[in-house]
Homo-oligomer: A and B are copies of this chain.
Amino acid sequence: MDGMGIDDVAVQMGVSKHTLRYYEREGLLPPVAKAANGHRRYTDDDLGWIRFLQLLRATGMPIREMKEFVDLAHAGEHTVADRVAVLTHYREALVTRMAQDRDHLEHLDRKLEYYEGVLAAANAVPEDITRSVRA
C-alpha cells in the first residue's frame, strides 16, 4: 500500500500523532484511508491538507472556523467566494498583528536600551566609589 504511516507524518509535519487523530476527529481532515490492519495511511493530498491547516492555524484561525472553512471547501466550487472572504479576513488580522508586533519589538528594544544603561551605570559606580575612596 502507498502512503505514510502516522508516525512518519507526525515527524515530518511536526505535529503529534494525537493531534493528527484529533484533527481528523474534528473533521479538519477528511477521513484518512486505512490499511487492512486499520492503520492510517496518509496520501500526498492528506499531507497537503495538513500543511494548509497549519497555515490557517498560523494565521490565528481557531479550530472551529477551520472546520467551517474545510466544510466550505468540501461543498464545492460555488463556495470559493466565501472562502476568499474568510481568508481575506484572517489575512487582515495577520497584517494587523504584524504591525503590532513591530510596535512591541520597538518598545521592547527601548526597555532593553534602558536596562543596558542601568547596567552600564552599575558597572561605572564601583569605579566612582573607588575614586571617592581614593580621594
Chain A contacts to B: CB under 8 angstroms: 52, 55, 58-59, 77, 80-81, 83-84, 87-88, 90-91, 94-95, 97-98, 100-102, 104-105, 107-109, 111-112, 115-116, 118-119, 122
Contact of A84 among B59, B80, B95, B112 (CB under 8 A): B112
Contact of A112 among B77, B88, B122 (CB under 8 A): B88
Contact of A81 among B81, B88, B119 (CB under 8 A): B119
Contact of A97 among B80, B90, B101 (CB under 8 A): B101
Q: How far is the CA of A89 from the CA of B125 in the complex (A)?
A: 27
Complex: chain B residue closest to A78, CB-CB: B122
Complex: chain B residue closest to A98, CB-CB: B101
Give the chain B neighbours of A115 by CB distance below 8 A. Answer: 80, 83-84, 87
Q: How far is the CA of A115 from the CA of B97 in the complex (A)?
A: 23
